[in-house]
């Protein structure tokens, strides 16, 4: 039997700089941005409140349209997983980097007045506006022939 494990991260913080989107050789969008989170604590020796900032490298795959809204100072909610990978730098030294691979990013707070809303922009590379979400019709009720006896629990 395989053992279970959990690799889940939830962060709420502020972007340290505008998000940057680059494309892999297979034309898959990879958006990255630094995220700052703060930790506030009371120093036991002095009794003063102190604050420490932790920086996280966030990677978001296949969401290039979101990069336009991920601007420096923007508060965001990020949900994802921790990933550490190795690479060789220009000098041939092996380096390691730990990243948050985001699966869900939600913009929080008010947006800056000079940032257009998604409805005001065009989809990158298409020259046309993105499709606005359509209202989903309510689910149809269950057919009359299903009763409580049909439910397996």
pLDDT band of 25, cuts 50, 70, 90? confident
Per-residue CA distances from 134 to 56, 107, 130, 131 (Å): 35, 21, 12, 9
Q: Tokens for 64?
A: 């290039």
Show the domain range for 66. Answer: 9-150
More confident residue, 95 or 123: 95
* pTM of the predicted model as reported, rounded to 2 decimal places: 0.64
In a domain, 1, yes or no: no
CATH of the domain at 16: 2.40.50.140
d(CA 31, CA 23): 9
In a domain, 4, yes or no: no
In a domain, 3, yes or no: no
pLDDT at position 149:
58
Mean pLDDT, rounded, for 43-68: 89
Structural domains in the chain (count) = 1
In a domain, 2, yes or no: no
């Amino acid at each position: 039997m395989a053992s279970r494990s959990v690799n889940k991260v939830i962060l709420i913080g502020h972007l340290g700089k505008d998000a940057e989107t680059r494309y892999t050789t297979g034309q898959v969008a990879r958006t990255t941005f630094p995220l700052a989170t703060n930790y506030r604590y009371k120093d036991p020796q002095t009794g003063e409140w102190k604050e420490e900032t932790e920086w996280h490298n966030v990677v978001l795959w296949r969401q290039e349209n979101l990069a336009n809204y991920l601007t420096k100072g923007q508060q965001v909610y990020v949900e994802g997983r921790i990933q550490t990978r190795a690479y060789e730098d220009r000098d041939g030294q092996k380096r390691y980097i730990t990243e948050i691979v985001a699966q869900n990013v939600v913009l929080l707070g008010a947006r800056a007045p000079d940032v257009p809303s998604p409805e005001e922009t065009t989809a990158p590379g298409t020259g046309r506006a993105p499709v606005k979400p359509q209202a989903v019709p309510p689910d149809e009720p269950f057919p009359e022939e299903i009763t409580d006896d049909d439910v397996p629990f």
